[in-house]
Amino acid sequence: MIESFLIDAVVFVEAMALICLYPLWRIFRRAGFPGHWALGVLFPVLGFWIAGGLLAFVDWPRSRTEGAA
């Protein structure tokens, strides 16, 4: 019973990561970061935290070249 729940949970999280992969890849590219950084979301839970932290707290290279704050 518990094993099937854990397997279902892992499959669900990985499916959500695959669904979010392409949009995150595009966001990273438009922000001026390498798009392959979006592959981090394939690591359950931790990948989403890292991707969100990068997008939220790191200076975006694209904003530096445009002179925006």
Contacts of 69 (CB under 8 A, 6+ apart): 63
Task: Enumerate the domain spans of the chain.
Answer: 7-59
pLDDT given for residue 69 in this prediction: 53
Whole-number Å distance between alpha carbons of 62 and 32: 5
Q: Shortest CA distance to 40 belongs to which of 28, 58, 57, 56?
A: 28
pLDDT given for residue 34 in this prediction: 92
- What is the torsional sign of CA 17, 22, 28, 31? negative
Whole-number Å distance between alpha carbons of 21 and 36: 10
Q: Spell out, as residue ranges, where the chain has pLDDT lower than 70.
A: 65-69
pLDDT given for residue 19 in this prediction: 92
